[in-house]
Structures are given as structure tokens and as C-alpha cells.
Structure 1
């Protein structure tokens, strides 16, 4: 979501509450002050490993002869063509699931098992382990302490355009590869 999208959602909520909203420039100023660590991801920074390798290799091909350059470009193009096919398939699956929604009031939340007779598409990802923001310019012994780590696990119900993010504290996210481990929260 972009900041403009979040601002528009803010305007919708304020209007529904019959309250006065702030202007967009004030909203951006407040965003910078209170949400300094919440940023919009730049485009093409989440490439797959193959794309990342191809970009790096293509950037260094100045020393190669023309036939090697042509092979690298062709290999990269084949991968991108495959990605386009996969993306088209993914979008068709999402469209099919969205078109098959029978209940327009369908929401996320507790439901009886197998209570929805339709097609749904979920995407999920275990993002990473992140340090909660801290001030790297902190004076004194706090500078040498490691921040609190959390794991992020996201689930998206694609046809509903809903996303649930689970923030899992570090003590609950540690486990060992041994069987019958009871260390999980």
C-alpha cells in the first residue's frame, strides 16, 4: 500500500465518523514524525534469486565477448518469459476465485469448518526475522544491546483483498530440529 492509499482510507473513515480531516501535507508531516520506520518498498527490490543473479551478471558483462553476452541476455529473457506465464496463471486463479465468491459479505474471522462452499485463494509467506526499530545514535550502554527480534508471518485471502500479519516474538519463534520439541508457544 502506498502512503496515498493509506491517506485515502483515513479520509473514508473520518467521513464515516462525520469528523473533520486534516490536509494531505499535514498528514504526511505526521506520518514522518510518528511512522518514521514505516516505508513503502521500492519497486524491483524483491526479485527472485534468478532475477537477482541475472541483473548482477548482466551488469558485469562488459568484459565478455558478443556471443557470451547474447547467451546471457537470452537466458535472462527466457526466465522473464517464464515469469510472465506464471504471473498470468496466478492472476487467472485469483480472478477465478474472486468471480466465484458467492457471498458478498464474506469476511475473515471465526467460521464453522467447511462452512464456505466456494473457491478461495490464500497466499502466505514467512517474511523474516526483524529487529524492532531502535535509535542507533543512542548514547551509552544501550547502543550495544540488540533490539527485540520478531518474526513476521503473513496470510492474504486474495479474493477478499484482506491481509493478516502475525508478529511472533522471538521467544515464541525459537525451536530446535529435534522431535517432540515443546519449546513452541
Structure 2
């Protein structure tokens, strides 16, 4: 075999040469927020290459209308964030649905199997005030976790909103099991009936286009966790606190490993049911 007279380059030089010489070839970036409606519309547009122009125009128009709806909803959300930053009397909160649980003990440099058969689980629920911005991250140990339904949303949003406000805007993603249900709507009506807020608006982003402030804060926490060794709940709280330089993420333990309860949970579903009718 003949030896090629070629110069060996490092990884960074190889990447620079690839970007300069072959810019049209790139790796597909990971997609974490996929829209089923966009995928169906794009597939129909792709399959309409040999169809009539009228049919192709109709399929393109359908996708354009969907994107315009998403853009209008996103512009409303961005406007509320901008208005929230200009005044302290109006409060806007974004409720993040419980993320994938954090397992501990965890070691990024784990050399072999861990001692425990099943790691302990800690759920993460965030309520973000985008006018400051700061997010309160509730660390829910598996011994304190009741469910991932509406009770979780109502309990921890009540703990965050501790004082009456003039106007309150709640932004949620489209998780029907957590925040898009009858009990959360009853809770919002209960808040205004007791004059805790002059007005309360509940907003839902379009399904598949729901990335907002809590996802940004959760991402920073997950990045820090991948590089940090944690063995206890207090160490997870330290990771949440140190995940941002400016103190955006604030940890709040719901309870301790030995059973001490720090944040009380109440049966809002049983409390609200006698006073409200089921929504159609």
C-alpha cells in the first residue's frame, strides 16, 4: 500500500475546513419541541409536487395560516413580557409543567454501576416571574410527590403568589393533564371571587410551539446537573442556585428526606368541587 502524503489536522481545524469548504452539509440539530400540525402540513406540501397548482396553493396556504396563528400568539406573549417589565403592579407568571424527574445520587464521572438498585427521584416544578426575571423551582422529593395533575399546579402557584395583585397573567403550555383542565379554571375564578386579583388572565401557547421562560430555566439546571455530583436534596438545591450567575433560579424544597414538610399541600379539588359546576 502506498502512503498518502497528507497533513494531519486537529479537530478544530477540521471543523473550520468543513464549514468553509462544505457549508451545505451539516448535522441535523436536535428538536425538542415538535409540532404535529407543522409536520403534517409539510408532508402534504412535499407530496404535492405533481399535483395541480390550485391544490399546492391550498396546502401552502394552510401551513401559512398555522404559522401566522403561532406568530400572533407568540407576539402576544412577548408583549405581555415587555409590559410586565415596565410595571410592578401587574404580575405575569409562567407555569412550567413538571419536567423529567432528577435522579440522585448522581455522579457524572460514575466509573461503574451504582450501589442503589433504583435511584431516588426528585420532581422539578417551576413558576417564573418574567418581569424580574426569577423562577422559583420547587424540588419535590418522591416521598412528597402527590401527583402531576392540577393539584401540583394550584398548590405551588398559590405558594408563589402570596400577596394580592392588580392584574395577573398566567402563561401555560398545553399540558392538559396539568394546567389545561377544569380545576385550574375553577381556581382562577376562585382567586378573582375572593378579590385577590382585580383581573386574572390564563393564556395557553399553541401546541408544539410552547417554548418559554421556564424551559430556559430548566435547561440551565439540567446543564449544571450533568457536570455536578449530587447525593442529597440539599445538593440538588445548591445546583439550582448555582445554575445562573445572576440568581434567576431560586430553589425551594417541598420536603426533606426524613419526611419533614416545608411546603404544605392542600386538597383544592375537594375544596372547589362543591362551589362550581363542571365546564362543558
Q: Which range, TM-score by smaller chain?
A: 0.3 to 0.5
TM-score using structure 1 length: 0.48
Bigger helix fraction: 1
Of structures 1 and 2, the one with the larger relative CO (CA 8 A, separation 6+) is: 2
